[in-house]
Structure 1
Amino acid sequence: MKKNWPYLALGVGIVAIIAAVVYYQFQQKKPQQAAFAPDSSVYSTQNYTNLVLDSTILIDFYRLHLVADSIQKDVSEFYRRRNYQYAWFSENTLTNAALNFNQQREAFISDFADSSLYSHQIDTLLLEAHTKGSQFLKRHQDAQTLELLLTTAFFKYTDKAFTGSVKDPLDLEWFIPRKKKDYQALLDTLVSAKGNPMREPVNRYYVLLKNKLQYYRSLEKKGGWPTFNFPKKSLQANDEDSSLIALKQTLLMWGDMNEADSSALFTDSLAVGLKRFQHRLGLVENGKIDANTARELNRPISFRIRQIMLNMERLRWVPAEMEPNMLLINIPEFKLHVFENGKQTWMSNVVVGKEATKTSIFRGNLSYVVLNPYWVVTNNIINNEILPKLKRNPGYLARNNMEVVSGNKVVDPYSVKWSSYTKNVPFTIRQKPGPGNSLGKVKFLFPNSYSIYLHDTPSKSLFGESTRAFSHGCIRVSTPEKLALHVLKNDPAWNEEKLESVWKTQKEKWITVRPALPVYIVYFTAWVDQTGQLNFRNDLYGLDKALEQEIFGERIASKS
């Protein structure tokens, strides 16, 4: 940590005076902003301490400690609203809030191996202030420095820990809008909470994953789990192999086996432990040591820790409080989660977009249910898949229950000279409702600029695959009838019998959903489920790799 620069009595004094005058004049010329409404429970006519900062010291502090402009603004605003009263000291000693915040800061540095928040000067001055109490406060310069260092550290910490290292997730294909967090109010609460630790303004999934990160850090310090040597033959119940000793140790560390077992025997409890592991990793749950299972078992603990950290970064982008009634689709998990009154009530398998036709990450409002839908074929599919077939034989459309439309008029496909087009066909091609319709019996629309929606499908066999990335971007649902009943449950005009009666007609029917149901399409490769189990999935679209480069790029480059 840099030492404080020595003051040259005359030169620095003149510079400080000039800087203060310039800063004051600049502030006077700036347009007046709306005043921040202080928390009346924190700020009133009462003074909470007789310790007051000299406001002119802020300029020198910012310069000496190279404080970023955005942090300067937050620090200045904080002290202006409290009439420059100290926040981290009472009359005679350091407050519990200071100690608790510093513990949180140090825990973050340890959990995320993030040295950017470390300050040797804070540690040194904090120890002296804690041990010497009122004697430390008599050292006015040191007391003011520690006061400002803690406040500056708070805004740096909250910006990174709660907002995230990535300031614009749009560059990483994440289009869910973020709500700006009020760190001024958070600090107000912290310094007035009589030492109670501050509540992190993040969602509960972040907190759950953070607890797992701390556990994995503790395992890492102990050396992690042993490497598993893939057996040369397929092992069955009661087979013996020395590799099973390390495997059982690993599954015990993961929590997939409940009791230690140092034998080399393939036991029933080992098969159960393997199935638990496979379930949490999204693998085929066969209780066997296949190649995919062995590969995931041999991921080093450093890989899993980094995977947890990447997904904690994503969770900082998610609203702290999500709607109690919503749908959430996690792309790498291939699952739809249904939430009612803040609790997950059921799940459904889904099929998502292939790597070449990724499903977008965004939030929408499910506003319409369409029974017996037409499938309007996208331009990409027309250009790449259908047009070549039409050039060979326009009868392709009739065989697939499709039609050509211009405006509201159906066009005879044999009247169109398909050979004259290479792309951008000036017609709509759509598939009529019926048993073979690619959207099945129902689709769920949440208007968006990505042309993404949920729908049924006649291709049910794909839901049995463990990896389900087969679509052109839209999301196929394995239980569309159940989802339709759920989405329309607030509308007394619709029940199972009414839906079935419409499906039998094979005529398209649009239903407005009131109120609209929030839909989140997200991308998490590590999370804690409703049973408290830590789950991992593969990086389907390579977005973990891109985020890793964004966050750890310098460290990766330095090792290469």
Structure 2
Amino acid sequence: MTVLLCWIAICMALLLVECRHSKDNTENPIESDSLQSQVLPQKLSFVLNEQDLKAFFTSFSESDSLQKEVKTFYERRNYHYAWFTTKGMALAVPVFYKQLENYRHDFADNSLNYALLDTLIRAVKRDKKAFQANNRQTQQLEILLTTSFFKHAQKEYEGIQENPSKLQWFIPRNKKNYQALLDSLVSIQPNAVFDEPLNVYYLRLKEKLRLYRSIEREGGFQPISFDKKRLTLGEQDSCLLILKKHLLATQDLAQNDNSILFTDTLALALKHFQRRMGLNANGVLDQNTLTELNRPIDFRIQQIMVNMERLRWIPVKMEEDYILVNIPEFTLHYFENSKQLWKTNVVVGKAATKTSIFKGNLSNIVLNPYWGVPMSIGKNEILPHLQRNPNYLRKNNMEVLSGDNVIDASSIHWKDFKENVPFTFRQKPGKDNALGRIKFLFPNNFNIYLHDTPSKNLFGESKRAFSHGCIRVENPKQLALYLLQKTGDWDEEKIDKVLATDKEKWVNIRPNFPVYIAYFTAWVDEEGDLNFRNDIYHLDEQLMKRIYGFEL
């Protein structure tokens, strides 16, 4: 009797399983461009264990850190599958697979074990039933998708693991939570968009990378040459056929007339190209413009990818209000409510005295500042002048200090000093002060700040790397007005009243205002135009060699 009861129970259980299997064995209607979601039978095991992971990583060797990420992910889920449900593949599979395809094509990167992933995906598409019957394949694809996600996330969302400070980049990285990101991906719902942890500047540049990849597939840029020093409006030359084709491909020219005539339309297109390159936008085909036109397509693609790497290091979401100084662009950008409100030219450090790349918080504006001369300038520049001319300090409105006390410079025998000078120098406020009339302070380890300058002529240069490291601002009073308007206590009249004197005045900025000193040689501006600039500090070369093993 006991045996009979057990037999009946087993039969009932099998009948229930079969009924449930028949009910659930329907296809998921969700599709994507690259993969149609498939159905797996109820009898498939949907739970892994630690031994399954060990077996996978025995067959497919990965770093200890990656294995730990995968194990942590499944431990948090009590080892339940993430990419499959009782109805088949989750929507996350085609979404993620499309991301991988895009990454592979955008960056020409095949390092993520695509071959096996492609094979398993094709197996699902080719013969669903055969794939359903192979639990080992399904388990392998499950773990492979999770492993691929963490590898892809590290590459596209974080970049190289090396400390960016070794690459002279001191803007702090924000740590991304890839566990939470994968949780979000595997639970994605129909018609939802997966929110990748990438800032808007990165996404804009990625679109331009795809444009330049398409130009590359079409054969790239043809070299342009001509016999004259320059070509201008109304002239004719066969090289203009190549120029027009180039500008059409880069979206500077809307329509190609296929003529050898230098037309008004071509002049406008050339001006647009010149602005994107930071050149004098005169609409003339001169030698500086020709140099930028003849950059090979692979050079431009590498330049874009290097700057996308840098963009992986900055916050996904910037503050609503901030200042951004882009060193190779020689430009300061002022943002309010996440929109660029204003920009102005700057002078940055020359190659021998580079401006550092970092983030600070602007805390004070100083009107009519003293200039505390750096020790290096005091030793290497001021001391030699003093040894030749004891009146140098007086003529330049300077004074010498011992500690915090001003002392009589004529009482010092300057020729006795060769290396170490036990004094400091400073220049008093005034119209000829090296810092001009306004200084902007954001405390940092590099002794870098923004300031006015009496040398206004340098702002007319197209390349403005002339300083000892600090950043000279062409329109400092306007910047001060933007910053001080938030206090409610200052207006232009009040600022001018203080500037009319030679008395130093400190003004607190509360809350502090974020300042980013950055280095981008390729970016997409507010108008959607792709900009390129020269690598004035050779940092692109250094980064390209670190990532890809070769130089630009």
**In 2, Cα distance between equivalents of 1:211 and 1:441:** 43
**Which residue is equivalent to 2:505?**
509
- Range moving further from structure 2, 463-472 or 126-135: 126-135
**1:297 matches 2:311:** no
Instruction: Evaluate the alpha carbon distance shift between residue 53 and residue 250 of structure 1 in structure 2; reply closer, same or farther with a 3 A threshold.
Output: same
1:198 pairs, out of 172, 194, 210, with 194
* 1:104 and 2:99 matched: yes
Q: Of 388, 391, 403, which residue of structure 2 is paired with 1:392?
A: 388
Which deviations, in whole Å up to 9, do the C-alpha atoms of 1:481-534 show, x marking residues without a partner?
Answer: 111111111212211111111111210111110010000000000000000000
Q: Aligned match of 2:218 in 219, 222, 225?
A: 222
Residues 317 and 453 (structure 1 numbering): CA distance in 2 closer, same or farther, change over 3 Å?
same
Q: Aligned residue for 1:164?
A: 159
CA distance in structure 2 between the aligned counterparts of 1:496 and 1:198, rounded to whole angstroms: 47
Measured in 1, the distance between the counterparts of 2:368 and 2:127 equals: 77
Q: How far apart are residue 281 of structure 1 and its match?
A: 0.2
CA displacement, residues 414-465 of structure 1 (integer Å, 9 cap, x when unaligned): 2112112223311110000001001011100000010000000011111111
> Contact 1:93–1:137 (CA<8 Å) still a contact in 2?
no
**Matched-pair contact (CA < 8 Å) for 2:453–2:472:** yes
8 Å CA contact retained: 1:405, 1:411:
yes
Q: Distance in 2 between matches of 1:233 and 1:302?
A: 27
- Which SS does the other structure have where 2:516 is aligned? strand
The equivalent position to 1:113 in structure 2, one of 108, 114, 122, is 108
Provide the residue aligned with 1:405 in structure 2: 401
Aligned residues of 1:186 and 1:198 also touching (Cα < 8 A):
no
CA contact (8 A) 1:349 1:463 kept: yes
Would you say 1:250 and 2:246 are equivalent positions? yes
* 8 Å CA contact 2:378, 2:424 repeated in 1: no
Give the whole-Å Cα distance in 1 for the aligned partners of 2:369 and 2:105.
Answer: 54
**SS of equivalent residue, structure 1 residue 229:** coil
Q: 2:85 aligns with which of 62, 84, 90?
A: 90
Q: 1:116 to 1:516 in 2, by over 3 A?
A: same
Report Cα offsets for 1:189-245 as digits up to 9, x if no partner. 110003645222010000000011011111111112221113334323211111111
Deviations 1:109-160 (A, max 9, x none): 1111112113211111111124433542331111111110110000000001
Partner of 1:176: 171
CA distance in 1, matches of 2:389, 2:501: 30
Contact conserved, 2:241 with 2:258, CA < 8 A, in 1? yes
In the alignment, residue 55 of structure 1 is paired with which amino acid? E
Instruction: Specify the code of the residue in structure 2 equivalent to 1:530.
Output: E
Q: After superposition, where does 1:319-358 map in structure 2 within 5 Å?
A: 319-358=315-354
Give the direction of change, closer, same or farther, for the CA distance of 1:120–1:234 in structure 2 (3 Å limit): closer
In structure 2, the residue corresponding to 1:296 is in which secondary structure?
helix
Instruction: Quote the Cα distance in structure 1 between the aligned partners of 2:538 and 2:242.
Output: 31
Amino acid at match of 2:291: R
Answer yes or no: is the 8 Å Cα contact 2:205–2:523 preserved in 1.
Answer: yes
Tell me how far apart the structure 1 counterparts of residues 345 and 46 of structure 2 sit (CA, whole Å): 61
- Of residues 525-534 and 65-74 in structure 1, the stretch that sits farther from structure 2 once superposed is 65-74
- TM-score (normalizing by structure 1): 0.89
1:116 alignment partner, SS class:
coil
**Helix, strand or coil for the counterpart of 2:70?**
helix
Q: 1:89 to 1:130 in 2, by over 3 A?
A: farther
The answer for unaligned runs of 5 or more in structure 2 is 1-41
Match of 2:31 in 1: none
* Letter paired with 2:179: Q
Q: Is the 8 A contact 1:50 1:91 kept in 2?
A: no
Mapping of 1:336-485 within 5 angstroms? 336-485=332-481
Which string of whole-angstrom CA distances, capped at 9 and with x for unpartnered residues, describes residues 151-185 of structure 1?
00000000011000243111110000001000101
Q: Which residue of 2 aligns with 1:13?
A: none
CA distance in 1 between partners of 2:228 and 2:500 (Å): 56
Determine which of 504, 516, 525 is the counterpart of 2:521. Answer: 525
Q: Give 2:318's aligned amino acid.
A: M
Report what 2:134 is aligned to: 139
For 2:551 and 2:455, the matched residues in 1 are separated by 43
Paired residues of 2:542 and 2:551 also in contact (CA < 8 A): no
Distance 1:186 1:134 in 2: 32
Question: Structure 1: 5+ residue runs without aligned partners?
Answer: 1-46
> Aligned pair count?
509
Q: Which residue of 1 aligns with 2:271?
A: 275
Regions of 4+ moved over 4 Å:
none
2:229·2:287 contact (CA, 8 Å) conserved in 1? no
User: Is structure 2 residue 484 aligned with structure 1 residue 488?
Assistant: yes
**Per-residue CA shift, 1:296-347, capped at 9, x if unaligned?**
0000111100100000000000000110100000000000000001111110
Distance 2:290 2:276 in 1: 14
Q: What does residue range 12-91 of structure 1 map to in structure 2 within 5 Å?
A: 51-91=46-86
Counterpart CA distance in 1 for 2:397 and 2:135 is 84
Which structure has the greater CA radius of gyration? 2
Q: Which of 140, 147, 162 is residue 152 of structure 1 equivalent to?
A: 147
Return the offset for 1:90.
2.0
> For the residues of structure 2 that align with 1:216 and 1:122, how far apart are their CA atoms?
27
Counterpart residue identity of residue 298, structure 2:
S
Deviations 1:73-126 (A, max 9, x none): 110111111111111112242222112211211211111111211321111111
CA distance in 1, matches of 2:551, 2:468: 34
RMSD, aligned α-carbons: 1.6
Match of 2:183 among 181, 185, 188: 188
